[in-house]
Homo-oligomer: A and B are copies of this chain.
Amino acid sequence: MSDKPTSGQKQLIETLRTRLGSGGIVTDPELIAPWLVDWRRRFRGHAAAMLQPDTVEQVQAIVREAGRLRVPLVPQGGNTSMVGGATPPVDGSALILSLRRLNKIRSLDPAAGLAVAEAGVVLADLHAAAAERGQRFPLTLGARGSATVGGLVSTNAGGMQVLRWGTMRGLVAGVEAVMADGALHNGLAALRKDNRGYNLDQLLIGAEGTLGIITAATLRIVPAVIARGVAWAGVSSPEAALLLLRRLQARTAAIESFEILPYETLAAALNYLPDSRPPLAGEHPWHLLIEAVESDPADEEPSSLLERLLGDALAEGEVTDATIATSEAQAEAFWRLRDSLSDAERASGPAVQHDIAVPVEAMPRFMTEAAREAEARFPGTRASGFGHLGDGNIHFHVRAPAGVDRERWQAEQGPVITRFVHDLVVAAGGTISAEHGIGQMKVAELERLSSPARMATLRAIKGALDPSGLLNPGKLVTLAPRSATP
């Protein structure tokens, strides 16, 4: 539990000092401190130094020398992991390898629909660079002002537009990475077809920095949005919501977001946000936020498209009410409600949260039944899910009974509730990590809920590519089998 460097770390820092230059090594504890804690403050680690390369060659030198001296490295971008994936170990055994200074957009080619961005490029900066050229990178999420390309690729990030554009895996055309021995894997050439053996790019996407350090990625970009239409609709059930989504998708490819939330989650947000107003009159058990975009002048204007399609749905009784934002301000007000759901719930009391997915068609039933089962098993709690219905991915929250002590309830009930919810998810053929990854938070649950054969395979891959276990230790999968109880 020390912030003092070990002798190996000291040697490493000494070896690298000339190579990295003055800005390349940070040892001032005050400067390091913010990077030792995850942004939700659930994980805290120690590290005697933060290495900040600004060239790929420097990353190679760091990884090579760290390998020689057996110093573990924790790669870090914007430090916005939801599962402690970028927080160093508590024992101070590792150094932080920050990729934030590796932040060039090497190229941006609208004709080819491709951009090459280094690991440290912040998502919002990528958005801005694309917009300048009349393009966009069609993935966004709350942390866009901090999250970096390297982290987004390494965690196969999702977000609000997966329905149309897929996760990062679908948007990455190639990866450049430094492997555990310091060798460079250069997969940046955007080959639409390439069957030259095992696909290392695909293996590195979502590997959370445990198999190699991503230094850059070739990303798909698409023409900028000309206009967007944002609608709010009420439906009777998650089943009705999915039916509506399928009907919309059969008639247009323009739907980019389709978010579901129950009435009481909306009520909490309305309560939490000053000056907010209910989008619809009357009470509706379930609410939908729908966005359609126009990226081609030949397309129908998205607001009138939504008006027409939702008008039909209203006439057919498929939605109970619907409204289209008539201004960009109103569209933003709708999105603000959606974006505040987590904060609003946190403000209204303690809750245990789960980032889970099941097959899309199974989600409506899961939402209803899992909530009922969780509430029955934990009397006094309220359970509900909201989020990306079209991806089969919701954030499933179990809120504490009124009046409990927050800290104590979280500590005592949290793990029990999580195991219960995860068991339901696995029984429904789903995943205990839809978009946040495993990090350190879910290592034990991954172990508990995966077959020994699968864990052996994950470990074999880790052992093959990082035999000394020096890349992001303690995340995703550990080299030595650990016991099921953390």
**Contact present for A463 and B461 (CB under 8 Å):** no
**Contact present for B206 and A203 (CB under 8 Å):** no
**Contact present for A361 and B112 (CB under 8 Å):** yes
A486 proximity list for chain B (CB < 8 A): none
Give 1 or 0 for each of A154-184: 1 = CB within 8 Å of chain B CB: 0110100010001101100000000101011
**Contact present for A436 and B195 (CB under 8 Å):** yes
Stretch at the interface among A11-19, A228-236, A403-411, A452-460: A452-460
Closest Cβ neighbor of A181 among chain B residues? B453
- Residues A476 and B197 in contact in the complex (CB < 8 Å), given A179-B457, A251-B296, A460-B464: yes
A167 proximity list for chain B (CB < 8 A): 192-193
A360 proximity list for chain B (CB < 8 A): 112, 190, 192
Q: Does A417 contact B (CB under 8 A)?
A: no
**Contact present for B357 and A194 (CB under 8 Å):** yes
Residue of A453, A457, A461 with highest tally of chain B CB at under 10 A: A457
- Bound together, the chains give a CA A457 to CA B430 distance in angstroms of 31
Partner of A435, one of B195, B250, B436: B195
A280 proximity list for chain B (CB < 8 A): none
Q: Does A437 contact B (CB under 8 A)?
A: yes
A358 proximity list for chain B (CB < 8 A): 189, 191
**Contact present for A251 and B298 (CB under 8 Å):** yes
- Bound together, the chains give a CA A342 to CA B116 distance in angstroms of 36
Partner of A432, one of B185, B196, B465: B196
Closest Cβ neighbor of A155 among chain B residues? B195
- Bound together, the chains give a CA A166 to CA B59 distance in angstroms of 33
- Residues A202 and B200 in contact in the complex (CB < 8 Å), given A162-B193, A193-B391, A457-B185: no
- Bound together, the chains give a CA A251 to CA B299 distance in angstroms of 10
A155 proximity list for chain B (CB < 8 A): 195
Q: Does A269 contact B (CB under 8 A)?
A: no
Give 1 or 0 for each of A77-112: 1 = CB within 8 Å of chain B CB: 000000000000000000000000000000001011
- Bound together, the chains give a CA A221 to CA B461 distance in angstroms of 31
Q: Does A359 contact B (CB under 8 A)?
A: yes
Q: Does A433 contact B (CB under 8 A)?
A: yes
A463 proximity list for chain B (CB < 8 A): 464
Chain A contacts to B: CB under 8 angstroms: 109, 111-112, 155-156, 158, 162, 166-167, 169-170, 179, 181, 183-185, 189-200, 202-203, 205-207, 211, 223, 246, 250-251, 253, 296, 298, 357-361, 388, 390-393, 429-438, 446, 450-451, 453-454, 456-458, 460-465, 476-477
